[in-house]
Amino acid sequence: MRILVTGGAGFIGSHLTDRLMEEGNEVICLDNFYTGRKQNLYKWLNHPSFEIIRHDITEPIRLEVDQIYHLACPASPVHYQYNPIKTVKTNVMGTMNMLGLAKRVQARFLLASTSEVYGDPEIHPQTEDYRGNVNPIGIRSCYDEGKRVAETLAFDYYRENKVDIRVARIFNTYGPRMLENDGRVVSNFVVQALQGIPLTVYGEGKQTRSFCYVSDLVDGLIKLMNGEYIGPVNLGNPDEYTILELAQAVQNLINPSAEINFQPLPADDPRRRRPDISKAKTLLNWQPTISLPEGLKLTVDDFRERVKVTKS
Ligand code: NAD
Ligand code: UDP
């Protein structure tokens, strides 16, 4: 199978590429290297079944492929808010271009959507039929609303053009290869603890998230792509933690005496988030297998090799 991975040089995209290459597929990665890095794909660069193309998905491209995993889009608030108009373009024009490609070559198309389509959720845990509570004009909207339009586009290409779609709603995912300056909470805390500087907890740290280790998520994406259910389907780990509990878990693992520095809570920061994964369990036979303590340890091992450790 020839498979296109947009955003293939990024965090999830590069782990997905590893798995697809190990399974013997031909893989083409498209990336503009905004938050992705060639190093993430280093081991495949000279492989005859692998190609990487520097390309911005807001421009169309012609390729012949059987499947498209559409992941290109910055995922960290720091990076998607840096140029919010570009984030909207990537989600809307970029997704339209990739759906147009899927339509032309009759490729199966999987959209990496997000739990952010639920906004600051009023129901808990979140099920796929919940329509969300998203602020259309806030600082997170370029991403949240961008992904909501991306889902709309996927379903309209399905209804109007019979494009064979799959839609995954991915919840917070972490693991090796997150950028040191990614800005998301797990990498921030791990880097801070390794560097011996205080952990930045936003607000009182009472808000919750549910953290999925990247290899589990990749399993879910591949099962969704190759199954019959089109989605949307939640992919995430239902174990829910407050941000303060996450900080304590990182302290325990790296430096129990690391200090915590409370900072203002950013606008529209969702108060809680946990996936209901009944659909993924029954329709994809998928559920996460790696607990937060196990996954954090693997993540910290990777960061230790990259971050200059000043105290541990
Ligand atoms: P990431 O920032 O590491 O990867 C995104 C990749 O897309 C990068 O390689 C980046 O260079 C590339 N990219 C961005 N804009 C592009 C453009 N216009 N043209 C071409 N390439 C472009 O993020 P990630 O965590 O790997 O997330 C991958 C996907 O999964 C994203 O679509 C994200 O919205 C979705 N997702 C991630 C999470 C998570 O917790 N990691 C949660 C929900 C959804
Ligand atoms: N957060 C934090 N300290 C940080 C980075 C993030 O307390 O250094 C909080 C953030 O306010 C949010 C949660 O951790 O409540 C998850 O943030 P992240 O950016 O990782 O993901 P998202 O908010 O998109 O789920």
Mean pLDDT over 81-105 rounds to 98
Candidates 118, 143, 157, 174; catalytic one: 143
Q: How confident is the model at residue 308 (pLDDT cuts 50, 70, 90)?
A: confident
Mean pLDDT over 213-228 rounds to 98
Mean pLDDT for the chain overall: 97
- The reported pLDDT for the residue numbered 307 is 86
185 CA to centre of ligand 2 in angstroms: 5
Mean pLDDT over 189-216 rounds to 97
Q: With 70 as the cut, is the pLDDT of residue 311 above it?
A: no
Residue pLDDT, tens place only, 74-87: 999 999 999 999 99
Structure-model confidence comparison of residues 310 and 267, the more confident one? 267
- The reported pLDDT for the residue numbered 312 is 45
Residue pLDDT, tens place only, 108-150: 999 999 999 999 999 999 999 999 999 999 999 999 999 999 9
HEC per residue, the chain: CEEEEECCCCHHHHHHHHHHHHCCCEEEEEECCCCCCHHHHHHHCCCCCEEEEECCCCCCCCCCCCEEEECCCCCCHHHHCCCHHHHHHHHHHHHHHHHHHHHHHCCEEEEEEEHHHHECCCCCCECCCCCCECCCCCCCHHHHHHHHHHHHHHHHHHHHHCCCEEEEEECCEECCCCCCCCCCHHHHHHHHHHHCCCEEEECCCCCEEECEEHHHHHHHHHHHHHCCCCCCEEECCCCEEEHHHHHHHHHHHHCCCCCEEEECCCCCCCCCCCECCHHHHHHHCCCCCCCHHHHHHHHHHHHHHHCCCCCC
Q: Which ligand is nearest to the CA of 186?
A: 2
4 CA to centre of ligand 2 in angstroms: 30
Q: With 70 as the cut, is the pLDDT of residue 310 above it?
A: no
Contact 160, 224 (CB under 8 A): no
Mean pLDDT over 20-26 rounds to 98
Q: With 80 as the cut, is the pLDDT of residue 258 above it?
A: yes
Residue pLDDT, tens place only, 152-198: 999 999 999 999 999 999 999 999 999 999 999 999 999 999 999 99
Indicate which atom in ligand 2 lies nearest the CA of residue 199: 8
Residue ID of nearest Cα to ligand 2 atom 5: 185
Mean pLDDT over 31-46 rounds to 97
